[in-house]
Structure 1
Amino acid sequence: MAPTTTRIPVTAEEGLPTWTVDPERLSVPQQTEELIDAHAEAIRERVHEHGLLRVRGLHTVRTAADFSSVAARLTPALRDYVGGTSPREQVHEKVMTATYVPPSWSIVLHQEMAYTNAMPAFLSFWCERPADRGGLSTYGDMRRALERIDPAVRDRLERHGLRLARTLLGPGTVHLKPGVKKPWTEVFGTTDRAEVDRVAAARGWESEWLGDDAVRLHQDLVPAVRTHPVSGDSVWCNQAHFFNPVCMMRWALEDGRREEYEEQARAAQEHPELLDRMYLGSGEPVADDDALHVHQVLRDLERGVRLRPTDLLVVDNLLVAHGRTAYEGERRILVALADR
């Protein structure tokens, strides 16, 4: 990759690659937009180099609209979140809240929409308000994850590929589903069942209606390991650890969420059809031991940083997984997804 003429200085602050902008250069939003226009390619280069980059000092970015303008300049191909699993709220144009699962939950490391063949290339997180306590933004290098995955586990998942099967309930019954509760109306942004089937078919997914208010969705067959299109690095890239009942239960215990643990355990025994699960391309579910091994590898890789107000964190979604620690008080992080 040819170097740009505006390579930006990056330091390691709190262990995180950071470009700190001189705040005296920025007095109005227009100057911030001009700065991003001039340095967007250099920022993306640094993101490809490090996997992520924090930009600090953008104090004129004060609203979701301001952030939307910056994100569109930095990664122009902003996109929607149709088919995504995490509960979110659309705030301004393509800008959304980060997941709004309860504050008592951590979020284990994952690459956004790695259960699809059309996962976003970049994630831009903007901190409007940090939590009163906790709420660290976590991250981990998925090149390192690939090195630490047991070769036998890698072989099983890489040989067959992976497919996510999800049971999506409607707004009136979604409370019956253990774990993350997101109705199909929110997943697809519609209340029209025919539109759900149309969107699913257009994306190569299989949809099967279970009565009037539930749909079983089989999403893309995806590889367990992918190659980064710029760096050429091989990267562990899947959510075998995320969509497995035993991992959901382990996650709940690690957070101290005993009630959620028991809810998951009951469902696994009494209503396994309600639980989302990752399957091998051969049709067999990913083995519990394999999923737990991946979960532990990623937990061991996890690092955390506390974002300050107006901090911008740009993540290469292939190279680096992200997450969150549990927190107390109010916390507001906005996110924009973008294709390459």
Structure 2
Amino acid sequence: MDQLLSVKMDKSSEVIDHRIHDLSSQKQSGLAWVKDHVEQINHWVNSDGFALLRGLNIVSSNQFSTILETIFGEPLSQYVYRSSPRTAMRNNIYTTTEYHADQVILQHNENAYSNRWPMRMGFFCVVPAKTGGDTPLADSRVVYQNIPESIRDKFERLGVMYVRNYGEIDLPWQEVFQTQSKVEVEAYCKENDIEFEWQGDRLQTRQHRPAVATHPQTGEKVWFNQAHLFHSSSIDGQMPDLMRASIGEQRLPRNAYYGDGSPIADEDIQVINQVYKDATFSYQWQRNDILLLDNMLYTHGRQAYSGVRKVLVGMAKIVS
């Protein structure tokens, strides 16, 4: 029987120790233990939406890749149509977003801005930060339920339009689409219902997506979009106003509108961010931790941190 650690939610006394599994007493290698317990591990994730495996003996990113493929039952997916900088390792393992250590990454479901996203994600802590650097989680069902109806209903009715301008401030299109070919970019956009416009070598895309999704297994509604991340008000300080003045609204690196093109009020984004904040909890990373997520049921983010931090990620079970 696995030993279980008691961990408390931030700002809450609710014990959720059944989701963190201390396997440090296992004599098998990490991979051998996983192979013998695949069904149990998937039951944990299916039941709870996530599971933290602690204390497994893992020696490399290649072994982590094999562990994820064993659990997920298929090869890991390549990360195309990216929204943030990261480094590709072998076997479709990636570093987590490489923003500066003092930046907080807001809660989000991976690729919720796209019409293709992974149902399963796995994170591997190679080196925990000296301070901070946790990967907070939030239940997307709780977020959906707690957003005021007046805001939620409008999003649910109209959806979200994501606008991106690549290259000058945002990632270059070559990195986002993982190609140097405009023809391949256009083919990807057409296949994935992304509107595109070239202005010389500059690319702008627009994509319309629902703001709410229904989980295919549980049938529950989840808040499943990145409007709060793409919205220009998410840029720090006075930068949105300065950028609008210098390059214009249409050239902002990214922005989010309602699906009909009408603007989303800054105040509504602030409300959504507060709902996420209230629903968020986290675990302090330990070396060799593996965090497995149902990407529709739970969001993830990143705390600011100090020192060296290295967390890897792999994704699988792509749906649309």
Q: TM-score, normalised by structure 2?
A: 0.90
- Asked if the contact 2:78/2:92 (under 8 Å) is kept, the reply is yes
AA matched with 2:241? A
**More displaced 10-residue stretch of structure 1: 327-336 or 185-194:** 185-194
Residue 291 of structure 2 aligns to a residue in which SS? Answer: strand
Checking the alignment, whether the CA contact within 8 Å between 2:257 and 2:264 is kept in structure 1 is: yes
Decide which of 138, 141, 145 is 2:139's aligned counterpart: 141
On the 8 A contact 1:62/1:128 being kept in 2, the answer is no
Of the three residues 197, 217, 222, the one matched with 2:186 is 197
Matched, 1:306 2:308: no
| 1:244 aligned residue (208, 211, 231) | 231
1:66-77 superposed matches below 5 A: 66-77=63-74
Q: Deviations over 1:51-79 (max 9, x none)?
A: 211001212x1211111110111113421
- Which residue pairs with 1:293 in the alignment? 271
Change (3 A) 1:282 1:87: same
Deviates more, 1:277-286 or 1:13-22: 13-22
**What residue is the counterpart of 1:155 in the other structure?**
153
Query: Where does 1:203-282 land on structure 2 (aligned, <5 Å)?
Result: 203-212=192-201, 214-219=202-207, 221-246=208-233, 248-249=234-235, 252=236, 261-271=237-247, 272=249, 273-282=251-260
Q: Cα gap change, 1:131/1:124 in structure 2, threshold over 3 Å: closer, same or farther? A: same
Shift of residue 102, structure 1, vs aligned partner: 0.6
What is the RMSD of the two structures over their aligned residues, measured on CA atoms?
1.9
Matched, 1:188 2:186: no
User: Which letter does structure 2 place at the counterpart of 1:242?
Assistant: L
**Is the Cα contact below 8 Å between 2:232 and 2:256 reproduced in 1?**
no
Report the CA distance between 1:288 and its aligned residue.
2.3
Amino acid at match of 1:56: R
Cα–Cα, structure 1 residues 132 and 10, in superposed 2: closer, same or farther, change >3 Å?
Answer: closer
Amino acid across the alignment from 2:310: R
Are the counterparts in 2 of residues 245 and 268 from structure 1 also a CA contact under 8 Å?
Answer: no
**Paired amino acid for 1:281:** G
| TM norm structure 1 | 0.85
Please say if 1:323 is aligned against 2:301: yes
- Supply the distance in 1 between the matched residues of 2:196 and 2:39 (Cα, whole angstroms): 40
- How many pairs align? 307
Distance in 2 (alpha carbons) for counterparts of 1:85 and 1:231: 28
- Whether 1:100 aligns to 2:137 is no
CA shift for structure 1 position 12: 4.1
Deviation at 1:81, TM superposition (A): 1.4
The residue type equivalent to 1:217 in the other structure is T
1:165-190 per-residue CA deviation (whole Å, 9 max, x = no partner) reads 11111xxxx3xx2xxx4211110111
Q: Which residue pairs with 1:23 in the alignment?
A: 25
Residue 330 of structure 1, CA deviation? 0.8
2: distance between equivalents of 1:10 and 1:319? 23
Deviation at 1:20, TM superposition (A): 1.6
Partner residue, 2:114: 116
- Contact 1:79/1:338 (CA < 8 Å) preserved in 2? yes
Alpha-carbon shift at residue 121 of structure 1 (Å):
0.5
Contact 1:166–1:276 (CA under 8 A) maintained in structure 2: yes
Distance apart, 1:125 and its partner CA: 0.2
Q: Which runs of 5+ in 1 are unaligned?
A: 1-6, 253-260
Q: Deviations over 1:253-289 (max 9, x none)?
A: xxxxxxxx34333113332222311222222232322
Give the residue type in structure 2 aligned to 1:291.
I
Task: Please state how far the C-alpha of 1:9 moved relative to its aligned partner.
Answer: 7.2
**Residues 38, 163 of structure 1: alpha-carbon distance in 2 compared, 3 angstrom cutoff:** farther
**Equivalents in 2 of 1:83, 1:107: separation in Å?**
18
Report the Cα distance in structure 2 between the residues aligned to 1:166 and 1:19, rounded to whole angstroms.
40
Give the Cα–Cα distance (whole angstroms) in 2 for the partners of residues 285 and 81 of structure 1. 30
113-122 vs 9-18, greater mean Cα deviation: 9-18
| Partner residue, 2:13 | none
- Matched residue type, 1:238: N
2:238, 2:266 → 1: CA distance?
18
